Structure 1
């Protein structure tokens, strides 16, 4: 009996195993495997995905290659037909979603750069010997000394002048006006200063020793005159650089060079004078970039009435004299993916839609929008990354850039009047008065010409009226004409 019972049990086990194998073959999956979720009746499956790796999509069901689990279907009903994703309003607060409004405002330049004080190379005086002679006396000057205008440097004996002055005095005693006039002209041609000629005429004595003095005040950069030396006509004796105005050479990063323009005002702070600010104006942006630091040099002119700004001092420069109207959004609302830039639009009914935008400058926590948005639209300023991930998972395409409107200034055209300083084929430099609508103070700046033909008949020095528009790359003149009072 025991043996018979054992044989019957083994036979039953074999039969059960065969039935299970047959069922498994018919169902197409191994025995004991979890069943793949069947698609819901009447709903279209867009794709299949692993909930743990939602970015990866599959075109058929099966087991996930990442996790030990079955793929889950994504249905067409889960998207909103291009209108974005919908979030339950009760969950918006828990997600930390914060909405901001696209608005128009003035965005100042946010460029900060470092710079070094330098001499003003436009304020240089060269002192030369007017005739050959001998140095009889020096006045104890040295390079680096700060002197005022008319400071004596050396007394030079000029033998050639003695004979010419004697002839001039002899002609005066004769009383011949024509000969006296010719002798006076000869003294001037020999290089005598008019003050020396008048002194000889007034005193009636020969003065062949001349005191060489500085024509302007400043610092002595070079001094090549010494006691007892012989000097030749035209020899450079000294070089004096004025200090009334100095240059501040600021190193602007190449990536921000487009935000700096000639003519705009800047503020500078120096470590030598904490708590004080110095105002200046950008007079030029040098044409060559520094290859080692990838910076451009902006030349700023600063007034230095007290002489406190010394060449070589370090300064921190803040650009921002020109505030331009722009369409602005919070910088934290911008999503940069590497290939494009997005924001999340907040729609009525708790719906959110990604939109592609083109952005420009950034300053003070706000970013300029060049295209892709319109004034008054609502965007997500916080929590937008979660919404963007959900939109990507749901297959919601971002609103293309062409669907947005191009950001235009609040006022398209501005008018001004001034004097033309320089004309180039593609631009013009104008010294204009205040333009309150921008707002700009009176200054000299460069404008691009919308059409080179606008400058036809205009020359440097002409008084003109002009109409221009503000663009991200700078102001562009649309109309240029002579003013009524030329």
Structure 2
């Protein structure tokens, strides 16, 4: 093979390699070191088609069901002489909850027992021993909390999308992470014009009695269910509503992630439908996606700067945590880094070094080619 052919083959290979790296950068790819991936805590999930809930989030409260409460009162006037229960106690139906001494003459005066009209929780009492008792005054309020209403304040524009029987997952912040199931019964009789919401009443069983009136509730209301929908976790999405993107693990380059523009559809509680931009099998970054936005933001942003912005404290150039000595030295010297510049760089530095090296090598090859061609011409002239 002629020397000139060898030269041009090397030049072509270098240009292809440089073009591939340059294309990766121009397409929004972020190229990290292996240590950089580890330090950013990058995690990915494989995109696949699955069942997708089109759901809505709402806030609300717990209420007692009308008709499930009862009041304890006396049919005669008298004086309260016994009160064996207090608010918070659980009573059964027909249990004696108070004794009233009649004002009718007698020695002793007759005592009338008062019984609970319903079983449940004693919610309220204003009575004290010795208080006068009148028929028009209730002594106790009792509520049956075996079933309750969970009332969601649903935006009125979504009310038309919900039908009786719709399901909801309901979380009560006061009770931790436990999730309850509710079923939509009906809507309120009037909307809240000021807030643009309407009450939606969900029936909830409460066998353990842990749900209490006025507790705050968080609702994930399922509007519809579709099969075979491509979706990603919410934390994968970056950008503004008009320009959403995700980071996808590069198919060939190690520790590289492509910035991919996507078109989104419906939103569920923790996932977002992807209408266009991704294919099943793509590995999408979840944890660390926000930090990749800094690393790939352009303008020579390094891995160190990405980690500094993401974690709120200083790192070394290779992304490792600063030791106490390095932090003290950086503070004393007024510098930002741990003086560990020999470690791995970000994608911008890698491309710059590659470009400089290939440029120098190309120049050398072109000089050698020129010399070789001149030598060839001189040899031909000697033979002429």
- Please state which band the TM-score falls in when normalised by the shorter chain: 0.3 to 0.5
- Report the TM-score when normalising by structure 1: 0.35
Quick check: which has more Rg, 1 or 2? 1
The structure whose residues are more often helix, as a share, is: 2
